[in-house]
Chain A
Amino acid sequence: MELAFFYLFAAGIVGASLLMVTRANVIHAALLLVLAFLFMAGLFVLAGAEFLAGVQILIYAGGIMVLYLFSIMLMNVGVAVRLRQWHRQSVLALAAAVLLGAEVWAVLGRGGYPGAKAWGWGLGQTPGNVEALGEVLYTKFLFPFEVASILLLAAMIGAIVLAKREITR
């Protein structure tokens, strides 16, 4: 049963992202990426990452992709649809990507991973995934958690600086 759902979600993700990279219209592409992210949230629930599933929907699909859509609407993309979509060297690039993929495939297929360990944070168990994640985030990973605030602040300032000069001009 779990496996069936995995295949469903995986097919959804791969299908949506394949459609995404081939679209000419960026708005269609962004919406397809949202679809892929929703399937991914389902996958995260299967893998025992409920909190991440929520974050994926709230932050990724709900926040980041909406930011993309707003920005796309600020830009003049109507013309871009009718232009050539692919690089001249795109065949070369595809060959390189396929080569890379083949290498990853060959290496990852060779195994050498540990056997699965018992997972203490399943759905509906106590302590659940969210509680356990919160604990490590505030103990073991407290320092990077705090440092992430510098990251967010720097990115916010940077985005404002770039946008501000449009207003002041």
Chain B
Amino acid sequence: MVPLTHYLALGAILFLIGAAGVLMRRNAIMILLSIELMLNSVNITFVGFARQWADLTGQVFAIFVIAVAACEAAVGLAILISLNRDRQMMNVDEINLLKW
């Protein structure tokens, strides 16, 4: 059996990669994709803990995370498309009408 720490380490690494992507990239779609990565790292952590505790709560939580990720993707992409039609731009630091 795979030890719990392996799942946790993998989850932490992915969370880190996702967070770094959010903080470092300019392209808004890349930021969205990095956020998806963060949500998936959470799912790995949940599944690992569900295995450890023999408790399906972790898996149920992961299903809800996926549902929320779908909703966030839909709304986020709609906002992006609407912004893209108006201003033809993709990068977050060009979004400067309001002080960032």
Q: Chain A residues near B27 (CB, 8 Å)?
A: 26, 80, 85
Q: Chain A residues near B79 (CB, 8 Å)?
A: 162
A109 within 8 A of B: yes
Contact status B62-A166, CB under 8 Å? no
List B30-55 residues whose CB lies under 8 Å from chain A.
30, 32-34, 36-37, 40, 43-44, 47-48, 50-55
Q: Could you list 19 examples of A-B contacts with CB < 8 Å?
A: A3-B2, A20-B21, A26-B29, A29-B29, A43-B10, A47-B48, A47-B51, A49-B62, A52-B62, A52-B63, A60-B66, A77-B90, A96-B23, A98-B20, A116-B52, A136-B57, A148-B67, A152-B67, A158-B74
At the interface, is chain A mostly helix, strand, loop or mixed?
Answer: helix
- Bound state CA distance, A116 and B54, in angstroms? 8
Q: Chain B residues near A63 (CB, 8 Å)?
A: 70
List B44-100 residues whose CB lies under 8 Å from chain A.
44, 47-48, 50-57, 59-60, 62-64, 66-75, 77-82, 84-85, 88, 90-91, 93
CB proximity of B31 to chain A, nearest CB, Å: 10
What number of A residues sit within 8 Å (CB to CB) of B? 88
List A48-70 residues whose CB lies under 8 Å from chain B.
48-49, 51-52, 55-56, 59-60, 63-64, 67-68
Q: Which residues of B contact A (CB under 8 A)?
A: 1-2, 4-10, 12-21, 23-27, 29-30, 32-34, 36-37, 40, 43-44, 47-48, 50-57, 59-60, 62-64, 66-75, 77-82, 84-85, 88, 90-91, 93
